[in-house]
Amino acid sequence: MKSFWDTRYDTDNFVYGREPNGFFASSIKDLSPGKVLLPGEGEGRNAVYAAGLGWEVDAFDQSGVAAEKARYLMEVEGVQVNYRVSELAEYLFKEEHYDLVGLIFFHAIPSVRQLLHSQVMKSLKPGGTLILEAFHTSQLRNATGGPRALEMLYDGNILTTDFSSLKTEILKELTEKLSEGPFHQGEAGLIRYIGIK
């Protein structure tokens, strides 16, 4: 998978755009800045946005190509992010450390997804917030982004099971038009989730 993502990001364009994900941006704007973790952060659009609001940002991605583009974006925007290149299995999650975790279009096979979600829950402080947006299982009928394997997509049951120890604040399955760089364009089946530890 690392080679797939290195190839995807190996272009002068920002393949998911430079602007933050809309759900993430609207969800954090009224929160008091603290410490945030962004796994699978790609080219850095959400990390840079959060840092610009005063958050202390940790982020990681398996793609070194994406990381270089993220560092370029940090420099352009004049912000600092602690961005590491790491596989999920090798990343050391800090226990009860983060006020916020953002999972934006992080798709993986079930065993990897469950590992990620369990580590995310451990890393949140009591009272901490999880913000997630991903492609819903209904996205299989669209050619507007996301994996083409049903097991890598989400529905409400998956999220309420994986995050059963969190208090659900928002859980919404919807169809919406995406416009996030060349790879997220057009009508898409989405799921949005906010949970509190």
- Mean pLDDT score of the chain: 95
Phi then psi for residue 56, to 5 deg, are -90, 110
User: Is 141 exposed, middle or buried (CB count within 10 Å of its CB: 0-12, 13-18, 19+)?
Assistant: exposed
What is the CA 70 to chain-centroid distance, rounded? 14
3-state secondary structure of 61: strand
pLDDT of 182 over the 90 cut? no
pLDDT band at 5 (very low <50, low <70, confident <90, very high): confident
Q: How many residues does the chain have?
A: 197
Distance CA 64, CA 81 (A): 15
Phi then psi for residue 82, to 5 deg, are -85, 95
Radius of gyration (C-alpha) of the chain in whole angstroms: 15
- Domain CATH number, residue 128: 3.40.50.150
Is the distance from CB of 92 to CB of 168 less than 8 angstroms?
no
Q: What residues make up the domain containing 186?
A: 2-10+19-196
For the chain, what is the domain count?
A: 1
pLDDT digit string, tens, across residues 118-128? 999 999 999 99
Is the distance from CB of 117 to CB of 75 less than 8 angstroms?
no
Residue 18 carries which DSSP code? S
pLDDT digit string, tens, across residues 80-109? 999 999 999 999 999 999 999 999 999 999
